[in-house]
Structure 1
């Protein structure tokens, strides 16, 4: 990607890292999920930049963006991206968000409609999980044998969790003199999770006016009944379920994900 450019931009009270992946055409913004970063959209970017100008953000606490000790509410994270988009002059864009990023993307569409002309939500429910789920995440983080001595060890660990996780999680590690560590803080992620589990977001969906596509992984924990409820609430909305895909649909079934996105966008 010779035309790739990296930079920093102001969020609400942090500096956000972003990647301008290049391409020409309408603006597409990519919003990653929890633990992730903009660069994990690489395979999606390869085909999207042929028709669109693609920009990805590292959200606060993630990637190369600043990682404050506090202030990880969803509302603040929505404002981060809105401020950054306004400063970059990115309006009337196509917003694609995975998981946590999907929630941020529909928050942008609902609260800042001038920024989003079309919305794609990948495997994210508006129903808040029970607070006990935070403990499950904590146990998951505690299971990581960090520091990893080498990338091969990390690949074996994450690949053992799910076949497509190895490449995804390798992107989230950095090396120091002791080994490989995640580029994020578990403590910060648990704060994000605590905020996200406080309230469901059904009422907010009613404010979305732009064309919307919900993509559900056929094998993910995103319940079908929740997806269908979202479909009924959001005006001008479509729902597609991708078979043999878990939570990270764009990694598990990249061609089917691409087909769903391209078919939706071609009809706008």
Structure 2
């Protein structure tokens, strides 16, 4: 769980959020990845808050937001985001999403073109990534709870060199996995297992930046290239020496790419 956060009640659940940066500045909304919470964006906040009003939120099933049982869908996750923006009186926002957050961003940009400025998709895809792995992960949850996922996810997300050099950052990610509600993971996993946003991508009119870690073992470079080709005004950068969490592994390069794109 995150720190004590304010929340709004939308679509029958509480959605927790946090603002940083100056009131009145252009808004950039940050949507975290699977098994994370709003704090995964800590390495980006100072850089962004100097120029933007930064809105971070915990998506349904994660962090300090509610984690109801039952199937989720990207239609529901998109509706949660729109209702949050409405409640906070945000008419238009830039959007940065990682993993499942990027999947939400694809639908948001395609379905609400008047509400988005620029779109950044990091470590994400428009179709189910690593499709063969999800049933095994769900079985792990059924047998042993969230703790059973920690080591396999860390091995997938970070290489040995990064884990040895940055144990505190890796430990924070591990803590977020352990703290994730099982119901939230199950609901999100089934949603991702049904993902096919490729038909939506040509409808995205927002300038779009796709960021992929060169060594990723999750959403692949090929997944990023498929999105780049399908989104009319998209470009892609591949960050070396990074897997799934390029924003943590290559913070300086990631932040530079964000600021250059948002300022262009």
Q: Would you call these one fold, judging by a TM-score over 0.5?
A: yes
- 8 Å CA contact 2:92–2:114 kept in 1: the answer is yes
Match of 1:178 in 2: none
1:166 and 2:171 correspond: yes
Q: Using a 3 Å threshold, how does the CA distance of structure 1 residues 86 and 119 change in structure 2: closer, same or farther? A: same
Deviation at 1:87, TM superposition (A): 1.4
Q: Using a 3 Å threshold, how does the CA distance of structure 1 residues 52 and 132 change in structure 2: closer, same or farther? A: same
Once the two structures are superposed, the pairs formed by residues 22-101 of structure 1 within 5 Å of their partners are 22-24=21-23, 25-101=25-101
Once the two structures are superposed, the pairs formed by residues 1-268 of structure 1 within 5 Å of their partners are 6-24=5-23, 25-129=25-129, 132-138=132-138, 141=141, 146=147, 162=158, 163=163, 164-170=169-175, 172=176, 182-221=178-217, 222-267=219-264
Unaligned runs of 5+ in 1: 148-153, 174-181
Q: Using a 3 Å threshold, how does the CA distance of structure 1 residues 23 and 137 change in structure 2: closer, same or farther? A: farther
- 8 Å CA contact 2:68–2:183 kept in 1: the answer is no
Can you list the C-alpha shifts for 1:211-251, whole angstroms capped at 9, x where unaligned? Answer: 10000110113333332221111111110000001101100
Match of 1:179 in 2: none
- Equivalents in 2 of 1:48, 1:225: separation in Å? 28
TM-score of the superposed pair, with normalisation by structure 1: 0.83
Between 1:187-196 and 1:157-166, the stretch displaced more is 157-166
Q: Using a 3 Å threshold, how does the CA distance of structure 1 residues 227 and 160 change in structure 2: closer, same or farther? A: closer
Q: Using a 3 Å threshold, how does the CA distance of structure 1 residues 15 and 75 change in structure 2: closer, same or farther? A: same
Other structure's SS at 1:202 match:
coil
- Equivalents in 1 of 2:53, 2:123: separation in Å? 23
Can you list the C-alpha shifts for 1:46-100, whole angstroms capped at 9, x where unaligned? Answer: 2110111001011111111111112421210111011110111112211000010
Other structure's SS at 1:104 match:
helix
TM-score of the superposed pair, with normalisation by structure 2: 0.84
Other structure's SS at 2:200 match:
helix
- 8 Å CA contact 1:218–1:243 kept in 2: the answer is yes
Other structure's SS at 2:256 match:
helix
Unaligned runs of 5+ in 2: 164-168
Q: Using a 3 Å threshold, how does the CA distance of structure 1 residues 128 and 50 change in structure 2: closer, same or farther? A: same
Between 1:214-223 and 1:131-140, the stretch displaced more is 131-140
Q: Using a 3 Å threshold, how does the CA distance of structure 1 residues 71 and 166 change in structure 2: closer, same or farther? A: same
The structure with the greater share of residues assigned to helix is 2
